[in-house]
Every structure is written in C-alpha cells, then in structure tokens.
Amino acid sequence: MNQPFSYRKTFLLGFGFFGISLIWPIFNNFVPIFLKEDFALSATAIGFIMTWDNYLNMFLQPVVGERSDRTRTRFGRRKPWMAVGAPLAALFFIVVPLMRTPTGIMIAILLTNVAMALFRSPTIALLGDLFPSEQRSKANGVINLMGGLGSIAAFLVGGMLYKLGRITPFIFGSVVMVSAIATVWAFVHEPQAPAQEEKQKSGNGFFNNLNEVLRSSDRSGLFILLAILCWFLGFNALETWISSFGKFTLGIDEGRMAIYTSGLALMFVLFAVPSGLLATRFGRRRVILTGIVGLSLLFLYGLIVQNQWMLVSFLIPAGFFWALINVNSLPMVYDVGGNARIGAFTGLYYFASNIAAVGGPQVVGILIDITGGNYRIMFIFSVIFMILAGIFMSAVKERKQVAVPE
C-alpha cells in the first residue's frame, strides 16, 4: 500500500518556508532604496552590497546541508540548526535598517544571511525526509503556497508598515519568521535517518558530492543544476531591481511598488499546489519547460512596460509561470541525490541558486550603470538566461516517480 499523503504534515512543514520567504521580499524591496536615497550609490555598488554575502553562502549552505545529514541529537538532524540560526537571523535582520553607513549595512546583511544559511538548507531538507519521491512535487506545491503567503505578507504588510518607519517591516519579518520556525520545531516530527546513511564515510562532504555530479555518466544531475543556475540568474535580477525599476523608471513610490509586487506572490500562491499536481500528472520536466517559455515571453514584454497597469499585467502572470518552475525543481534534484543525501543535495541546489544570487543582481547593476541608468536592461539579461535554462532543462532525463510502499 502506498504511503498516504498528509496535508496536515505538509502545511505544518510549510510554516518553515513561510518564515524563510517572509525575509527576502522585505530585504529586496527596501534595502536598494535605502542605499540609493541615503548614500546616492551607483547601481553597481548597490548590486554588490545586496549580494556580497552570498560569496560565503554559496559554500556555507551546501556544507550545512551535508552536515545536517550527519547530525545526531535527541531532537533530530535538522532541528538543532533551526534552533541556532533562526533567532540569530531575526536579530541581525532588525539591525539592517538601523545602520547609517554602507559598511554597517553590509555587515548587518552578512550576519543576517550567515544566520539564515545555518537553518535554511536543514529546514528545506525536511521535504525530502518526510515525503517519498512521487509525493514531493505535490508537497512542495503546498509548501511553496505557504512561502508565497509569506511573500504576500511581506509585500502587503511590509508596504503598509513602512509608512510608520523604515524599521517596522524588518521587526515584523523577524517576529513572524521566528514564530513560524518555532511552529515547525514543535509540531513536525523528524523521521529516523535512513539506515544506509549510517554507512557513509565521514569524509563524504560537499566537494565530494559536487564532484560526483560532475563526473557522473548520467549528465542529468549536472544539467538540472545548470538550469537552476540560469533561471535563478534571470529571476533574482528581477527580484532585486524591480522595485528600483518601478520607482526610478515608472515613478511609483516604494510602498505602492511593494503592494503591486505582491501580485506576483499572489499568483505564485494560487498556482503552487496546481503546479505540483500538474507535475505529478504530466511530469516535472514538461511543466518546468512550460514555465520557462512563459517567463521568457514575459521578460520580452517587460521591455515595453510604460505604466503601473502594464507593470501589474507583467507581474501577475510572472507569478504563475514561476510557480511551474520553482515548485518542481527541488524534487528533481532529490531524485538525483537519493534519500540518504537529502541534505547534501539540498545544499547543491542552494549552491547553484546562491551563485545566481550573486551574479544576477551584480551583473545587472553594472549593466544599469553602463547604460546610463536604464533599468530595462534587466529584462534583456533575464530573458537570455531563461532561454539558457530551457536549453539545459531540455537535456535533463526525468526519472520515473515510483511509489514507495508503506
């Protein structure tokens, strides 16, 4: 008999992603505005400050994910990392808007993201721990629905709270994140570690896992990581610069821009679960490719957006197509890695996405300066890398989702 799908367990785990997803929209929407208005920094400098911490995180998150596979406590493998990282991240996040120099903001950003890195991979790895392969797209749809609700809360509530003071969205994000992670800690019970994991060699670390993917005769693991790298390059550039595009190109104030951007998050929420169900029915690869084609066309449309209503008509379908991609990518990575190395391959997923988090915003910032403040250049950059993602994804061989006996 197949293992029944538990919506209760899935929604409880989703609180972890809700808390994590609440932080980044607040960060991406307001910090670039601080840096521009307070210090008159160039787009190149802003892009660097927004992403410089990810040079460390691209290695820290994979190492933490792999280490969590081999952590042994009475609380489980993942929960100790959550208990340490979440409170520290909340504290440092509140400090970000209090800093009055670019260097101070850089340090606060670094400390926030290092603390986030301590629990992000272990929290997300619970998806692979708790669900068999054939249920992961469906479960990830529910979890991403919760993450999308976190993004909506960040945009809508953060946008309203910003009028009361620049620190208020950051306090809101910190309090809710800690509460959400505490919910996962209290109500989600970790399964026992797979027996085969006990036989792993102690030296089987991040670089060994990466080397295995690079050397494997089946190139699907490499191609899915390259596809992830490319679509996050395109989407992270959009996330970082869309608020600046709205304010400095279209003349929309940052509070209203946050509310408009919530339309993308709302559509992501509405289609997160259907995206997982579609992947279960038609295959993850096909659904992801549909999302890539749709976003590529939307980025081309972005080049002609002239007012707030055209911007809204860009943001809303972008949330739908991003759901098709994002919900189904991590389950494909888990299929490559196997159940004994869920944490390690969660780390590889974040290794690719963190490289994109560094490269996308920084390169687009340089291009904005080179083109004399033309924020539309981000759409050209994003469509190029989305097309590359489609090419790599087309080369991935999807593994059949086999039911696991209970």
Judge whether residue 160 has pLDDT over 70: yes
Structural domain including 79 reads 7-189+208-394
The average pLDDT across 16-34 equals 85
Lowest model confidence (mean pLDDT) among 117-126, 128-137, 314-323, 334-343: 334-343
Judge whether residue 399 has pLDDT over 70: no
Query: Tens digits of per-residue pLDDT, 143-155?
Result: 888 887 888 888 7
What are the CA-CA distances from residue 207 to residues 60, 212, 219 (Å)?
12, 8, 17
Number of structural domains in the chain: 1
The type of residue at 336 is: V
Predicted model pTM? 0.74
Q: What is the mean pLDDT of the chain?
A: 85
pLDDT bin (cut points 50, 70, 90) of residue 178 is very high
277 phi/psi in degrees, rounded to 5: -70, -40
Residue 341's pLDDT is 66
Residue 389's pLDDT is 97
Residue 313's pLDDT is 94
Residue 236 CA to residue 238 CA, distance in Å, equals 5
Q: Which residues pair with 199 in a beta bridge?
A: none
In a domain, residue 98? The reply is yes
The residue among 187, 237, 155, 209 whose CA lies nearest residue 10 is 187
Residue 173's pLDDT is 93
The average pLDDT across 203-214 equals 68
HSE-CB for 67 with a 13 A CA cutoff: 13
The type of residue at 57 is: N
Over its C-alpha atoms, the chain yields an Rg (Å, rounded) of 20
Query: Tens digits of per-residue pLDDT, 184-198?
Result: 998 988 887 665 444
In a domain, residue 401? The reply is no
Query: Tens digits of per-residue pLDDT, 310-346?
Result: 999 999 999 999 999 998 988 888 776 666 667 777 7
In a domain, residue 281? The reply is yes
CA torsion 372-373-374-377 (nearest 10°) is: 100
Residue 174: which CATH number? 1.20.1250.20
Judge whether residue 403 has pLDDT over 60: no
Q: Centre a 10 Å sphere on the Cβ of residue 385 and count the other Cβ atoms it contains.
A: 24
Helix (H, G, I), strand (E, B) or coil at 118: helix
The average pLDDT across 80-92 equals 93
Q: Which residue has the higher pLDDT, 296 or 166?
A: 296
pLDDT bin (cut points 50, 70, 90) of residue 49 is confident
CA torsion 336-342-347-351 (nearest 10°) is: 20
